[in-house]
Structure 1
């Protein structure tokens, strides 16, 4: 018996790499294992561990309203900056959970920060922007800039 007879054979009858199938099985095992764990929604951005809050932007005739879901955060945890017509929402979340029982003590800590940037229309008055946080929902109200008025310039005869 040769070593070649012990290795798996691929469809085209060539010897397959045994480590590729081992890697697939390990990946499948970890996927199955982590499938039941809760995610950080609504702080997920598709990658499961990133703290990227969900943001909704709506517009009326007079203002732009930005709403972000920030569960568990307080006003002191959120910072909003405006520079060069870019609105930046930053935040940091930290949580500590402790369980004590007769036979054990469990302490879990989690930390994370996020940053979202949104481009605003030119001419926005940064001093007129208002923000409030209530029950984990941040609401930022940006007044729309007044449209530029065309001014007629009189042409005079040169002397």
Structure 2
């Protein structure tokens, strides 16, 4: 009998993806449940900014929406399905289509007013500059 190592990180990532997918479709039933998908996202902290990269192959920039509200960065959009006919020899289609939705919490040091986003070769890259963190201030207590 061989042992299979348990990787808690993978289980947590799967839970996170399932949780995002659940709320992305909240209140509506998709045409095909198998079309729900979540793009892979990398978040990198650099000395002067945060960089978010999302894999969005085949999606036009006009079909991507990036918003920032109350410390939450939201990436959403839709990938249209291609019409395939069985006579073209397709035996299996594994690429997902439909709406996607990712929401990421950013720290207070994220400068929401100067966010920039661009796509290149199917990768959405979002640059979020850092601002000086707010310092704690002492509040006088009066009697």
1:122 and 2:116 correspond: no
d(CA) in 2 for partners of 1:79 and 1:140? Answer: 12
User: Could you give the per-residue CA deviations for residues 42-95 of structure 1, whole angstroms, max 9, x where no partner exists?
Assistant: xxx589753100000011110000000000001011000100000000010003
In the TM superposition, 1:129-144 aligns within 5 A as: 129-144=115-130
2:82 to 87, 90, 96: 96
d(CA) in 1 for partners of 2:120 and 2:114? Answer: 20
d(CA) in 2 for partners of 1:94 and 1:133? Answer: 17
TM-score, length-normalised on structure 1? 0.55
1:76 to 51, 58, 62: 62
Deviation at 1:125, TM superposition (A): 2.5
d(CA) in 1 for partners of 2:136 and 2:101? Answer: 38
Higher strand proportion: 1
d(CA) in 1 for partners of 2:104 and 2:68? Answer: 10
